[in-house]
């Protein structure tokens, strides 16, 4: 089945230790998104790639970076995680700016 | 600044009853609206969408109503089942823009057997 896959599902890191979350998709969608969802809150868009073009949201901290080496994969890098970065991180994909399909998310814990 | 968790409104219904979940959206220029269902520990799952040139759209057991005059969106679930228990988010988007989805606060639906 075509899908959006996120690994790992649960990630524990230490305060200040760089961490990378990964997303892959078999849908061959050209747009990939990263959202942050804190407890009991709605998802918040961090950035997205339209093909190879990176689009950052104005309020996304510099601590968050992203890479998209090819159509299928997209990575979220948190350079120096703080306690406030503990959240569920959701990857989504779409064909151009149409319906977005979400992955299961990676829950990040910062110790 | 540090974010504070928001209290999600909760709707509790009896199994078999109809559910109505409401949402107020913010941008009068938004022209695409989606309802997502999010179960605990999972990503949001698409339920139904509607474009601004429509005021009603029906799916299987679900209906979305759009009132652009008052910027209001609702999701109706017929014959609610225990498997419908989840958090429901509405989202708005301005097509032709970045495709950015702006999510509403979310409503927790609890289905009592």
pLDDT digits (tens, 9 = 90+) for B17-30: 999 999 998 888 88
- pLDDT, position B105: 86
Burial classification of residue A78, based on how many CB atoms lie within 10 Å of its CB (0-12 exposed, 13-18 middle, 19 or more buried): buried
pLDDT band at A10 (very low <50, low <70, confident <90, very high): very high
- pLDDT, position B97: 58
Cα distance from B91 to chain A (closest Cα, Å)?
10
- Answer whether A96 sits within 8 Å of B99, measured CB to CB: yes
Average pLDDT, chain A: 95
- pLDDT, position B26: 82
- pLDDT, position A33: 96
Pick the more confident residue, A85 or A2.
A85
Q: What is the mean pLDDT of residues A21-25?
A: 97
State pLDDT tens for residues B60-110.
Answer: 999 999 999 999 999 999 999 999 999 999 999 876 556 678 898 899 999
Residue A1, pLDDT above cutoff 80: no
- Answer whether A38 sits within 8 Å of B93, measured CB to CB: no
Minimum-distance CB partner of A38 among B5, B43, B46: B5
State pLDDT tens for residues A64-94.
Answer: 999 999 999 999 999 999 999 999 999 999 9
Q: Is B83 helix (H, G, I), strand (E, B) or coil?
A: helix
In A, minimum Cα distance to B88 occurs at: A42
- pLDDT, position B5: 39
In B, minimum Cα distance to A85 occurs at: B2
A84 in contact with B, Cβ within 8 Å: yes
Residue B104: what are its φ and ψ, rounded to 5°? -80, 180
Residue B39: what are its φ and ψ, rounded to 5°? -85, 160
B44 in contact with A, Cβ within 8 Å: yes
Minimum-distance CB partner of A41 among B3, B36, B43: B3
- pLDDT, position B2: 29
Cα distance from B102 to chain A (closest Cα, Å)?
8
CB within 8 Å of A53: residues ≥ 6 apart: none
B-chain CB neighbours of A99 within 8 Å are: 34, 46, 49
Q: Is B1 helix (H, G, I), strand (E, B) or coil?
A: coil
State pLDDT tens for residues B6-58.
Answer: 445 999 999 999 999 999 988 888 889 999 999 998 999 999 999 999 999 99
Mutate to test the interface with A, among B6, B43, B94, B98 (most CBs of A within 10 A): B43
- Answer whether A38 sits within 8 Å of B96, measured CB to CB: no
Angle at A108 between CA A104 and CA A110, to 5 degrees: 175
- pLDDT, position B69: 93
């Amino acid at each position: 089945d075509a899908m959006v896959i996120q690994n790992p599902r649960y990630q524990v890191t230490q305060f200040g230790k760089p961490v990378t979350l990964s997303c892959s998709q078999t849908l061959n969608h050209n747009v990939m998104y990263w959202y942050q969802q804190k407890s009991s809150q709605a998802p918040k868009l961090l950035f997205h790639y339209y093909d190879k073009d990176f689009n950052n949201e104005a309020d996304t901290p510099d601590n968050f970076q992203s890479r998209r080496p090819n159509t299928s994969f997209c990575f979220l890098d948190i350079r120096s995680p703080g306690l406030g970065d503990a959240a569920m991180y959701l990857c989504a994909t779409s064909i151009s700016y149409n319906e977005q399909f979400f992955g299961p998310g990676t829950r990040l814990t910062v110790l | 600044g540090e974010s504070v968790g928001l209290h999600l409104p909760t709707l509790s219904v009896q199994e078999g009853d109809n559910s109505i979940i409401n949402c107020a959206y913010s941008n009068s220029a938004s022209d695409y609206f989606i309802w997502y269902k999010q179960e605990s520990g999972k990503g949001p799952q698409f339920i139904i969408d509607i474009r601004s040139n429509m005021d009603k759209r029906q799916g299987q057991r679900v209906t979305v109503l759009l009132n652009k005059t008052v910027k209001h969106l609702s999701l109706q679930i017929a014959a609610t089942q225990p498997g419908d228990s989840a958090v429901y988010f509405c989202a708005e988007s301005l097509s032709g823009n970045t495709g950015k989805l702006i999510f509403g606060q979310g409503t927790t639906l609890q289905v009592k057997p």
